[in-house]
Chain A
């Protein structure tokens, strides 16, 4: 569904990604794990069009999408939940969700999608008219996921969804992400919480210093010595 070939991205003169290649198939959860500064967010921002790669390509459903502006990428069906959720604080919960449905096609179906999102997150329905800044951290993350779903995406990109949340909420967010896969939405998940990510994902890639150093089914990675030593502290 998504294919990345030999991607190199720079920040000015500093190279952040080195020949990254990876593949995501339909209706699977693929995790990208790595430590702080490994280039995970850079990779997501390159996919969603915020950054342009210096070389290499990104293909989505057979179409080349590198170099497209962010709004065009969203219209094709890739939706991005940025780190920390980044909801619009001075807008109500409902307005935040409606903004998620901004692309033309999604706007036509916004009533219907809103119902589905409210069914998934009854809390958001209860707080429909509240300003987003009055929500708790977990609710904000839910709102960010809801906003992402409002564009009726085929692929969801998650940037550190567990960041800053209490363990109980992290478990809930991860359950929700698994639920998305069961609905047929493909998920690309970026996490520092390596154990959790490997537990729910189907396959994973390990990113170190801007390079992919390992890949494979999660069960295998959880067994590997390198992952156990470097990320799980075993």
Chain B
């Protein structure tokens, strides 16, 4: 009896996720139109946030490079979109971003703390202006157009990227590499003494996180239909994942996901309802949440749980 109870408890989370996945798969059939657009926007932010968390949360290296990887994905799609089938374009977008991450990682992952953050931020600006210069000088046009595809296609591709990302994150977290990444964040020198190849592990994880950001960019480009360097390398795409992850809470994997869902939904609602005040409102929400929710939404949920179930869960 007891054994069955334990087994059921273990199965609860995967079962819940499976139901959620089926609902997401069914959504475009049940409610086509705006709902699909809204949900794939949210999915895109989840991808950005979780891939940021994959590298930056355990290691403590705050990366502001997501916009660079996202933009590389966008441009891959803009250049190859009409020549190659969509899945191939998405894969190349991811790989191109990973390649950039390997290069940047090898150069800069020796930088500590704030220096790494500033360098990655500079990278976004650098690539943006390089692309702008290239386009004006060699193609003579500032932007590019993409052939639109159906909303449902964008939706399913984004969902597939997210599922692949979540599986990857889950397996890394469960393996010894997940623990090793955390030990790098806690004491990098001690981590090296335990036999971890810290440089290699950091670079590879950075690249893995870039794969998904780039892939998301490649499909997002098609939704945008017109892009130029300012749209593709928008620095907001670097800050949003950080904000969403902190808003959700970094301790558990579901924190950043929850943060991305709530925050991007909020953003969407505020943009449509209060187009002039939306940045003001977003800023206020952020300030309040940092002041009163130091551990993000996860911290809030844990506090509620404790109140409902009493002191027995105090340690979780």
Contacts and interface: CB of A to CB of B under 8 A. Distances in A.
A100 B196 CA distance: 9
Nearest to A129: B315
A151 B195 contact: yes
B193 A102 contact: no
A70 B191 CA distance: 10
Contact of A102 (B186, B189, B196): B196
Given A86-B187, A88-B186, A91-B186, A99 B193 contact: no
Interface residues of A, number: 26
A48, A75, A91: which has the most chain B beta carbons within 10 Å? A91
Interface string B181-199: 0110011011111111111
B192 A95 contact: no
Interface string A51-94: 00000000000000000011100110001101000111111000
B176 interface: yes
Contacts of A99: 176, 179-180, 183, 191, 194, 196
A69 B182 contact: no
B179 A82 contact: no
A107 interface: yes
Interface residues of B, number: 18
Interface string A142-166: 0000010001000000000000000
The majority secondary structure among interface residues of chain B is helix
A137 interface: no
A27 interface: no
A191 interface: no
A71 B187 contact: no
B182 A107 contact: no
A99 B193 CA distance: 10
Contacts of B196: 71, 99, 102
A50 B189 CA distance: 8
Contacts of A86: 187, 189-190, 193
Contacts of A28: none
Given A90-B186, A91-B183, A98 B176 contact: yes
Given A102-B176, A106-B195, A151-B194, 7 more contacts: A48-B193, A69-B197, A70-B193, A74-B193, A86-B193, A88-B186, A99-B176
18 contacts: A70-B195, A71-B192, A71-B195, A74-B193, A82-B189, A82-B190, A86-B189, A88-B182, A90-B186, A91-B183, A98-B176, A99-B191, A99-B194, A102-B176, A102-B180, A102-B195, A147-B194, A151-B195
